[in-house]
């Protein structure tokens, strides 16, 4: 069905990783994006990882995924705390990770990354953006919006979470609800971001 293929190609955005100045890891309570960021770092594609995330506004505290290996063994205050531990356990040195523990949604992640990068004295030419696969399009939309007055090239390097992938999302109710919800939010949120002056 062509409409399904079009939605899949739009939502499940993925770029080929290229050498970059920094890896940006958007907040999540899932370990897969952190492992993807660690993989890119350990492959030598960027010298630094920035991770941002507090916890969902809906929960008001960090909630670990029910299938996470740390569950029952470790506790974390924030998404950034959790994801940093996942990355260091995967072999990333703590000195290569910069953290923001305040952002509670993706647009705030992007804004905090901008503050952190500007505080470092320079903006990158290229950044690798790690997020959940079904969130890839909206994530890049936010980052392009926050950095719209720059020439940063964002390359999205997502990770499949919750078994929701470009090949499987139509096969479960959770997949359909999640992906179609992302599609709806892309339109709703782009509407308040853009003005005729942006073109």
Task: Classify residue 20: in a domain, yes or no.
Answer: yes
> Is position 196 within any domain?
no
- Give the number of residues written for the chain: 199
CATH of the domain at 58: 3.40.50.620
Please indicate, yes or no, if residue 176 is contained in any of the structural domains. Answer: yes
For the chain, the domain total comes to 1
* 197 domain residue, yes or no: no
pLDDT tens by residue, the chain, 199 residues: 899 999 999 999 999 999 999 999 999 999 999 999 999 999 999 999 999 999 988 888 999 999 999 999 999 999 999 999 999 999 999 999 999 999 999 999 999 999 999 998 889 999 999 999 999 999 999 999 999 999 999 999 999 999 999 999 999 999 999 999 999 999 888 777 766 665 5
Q: Which domain holds residue 7?
A: 2-185
Rounded Cα gap, residues 131 and 115, in angstroms: 19
From residue 161, give the alpha-carbon distance in Å to each of 60, 127, 150, 174.
22, 22, 30, 12
Looking at the whole model, is its pTM more than 0.75?
yes
């Amino acid at each position: 069905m062509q409409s399904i293929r079009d939605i899949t190609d739009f939502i499940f955005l993925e770029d080929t990783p290229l050498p970059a100045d920094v890896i940006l890891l958007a907040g999540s309570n899932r370990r897969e994006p952190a492992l993807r960021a660690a993989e890119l770092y350990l492959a030598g594609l960027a010298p630094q990882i920035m991770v941002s995330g507090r916890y969902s506004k809906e929960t008001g505290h960090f909630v670990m995924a029910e299938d996470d290996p740390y569950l029952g063994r470790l506790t974390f205050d924030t998404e950034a705390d959790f994801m940093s531990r996942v990355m260091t356990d995967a072999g990333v040195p703590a000195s290569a990770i910069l953290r923001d523990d305040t952002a509670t949604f993706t647009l705030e992640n992007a804004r905090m990354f901008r503050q952190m990068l500007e505080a470092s004295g320079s903006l990158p030419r290229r950044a690798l953006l790690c997020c959940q696969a079904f969130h890839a399009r909206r994530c890049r939309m936010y980052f392009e919006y926050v950095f719209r007055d720059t020439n940063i090239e964002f390359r999205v390097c997502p990770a499949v979470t919750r078994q929701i992938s470009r090949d499987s999302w139509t096969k479960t109710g959770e997949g359909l609800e999640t992906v179609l919800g992302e599609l709806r939010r892309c339109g709703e949120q782009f509407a308040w971001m853009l003005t005729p002056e942006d073109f």
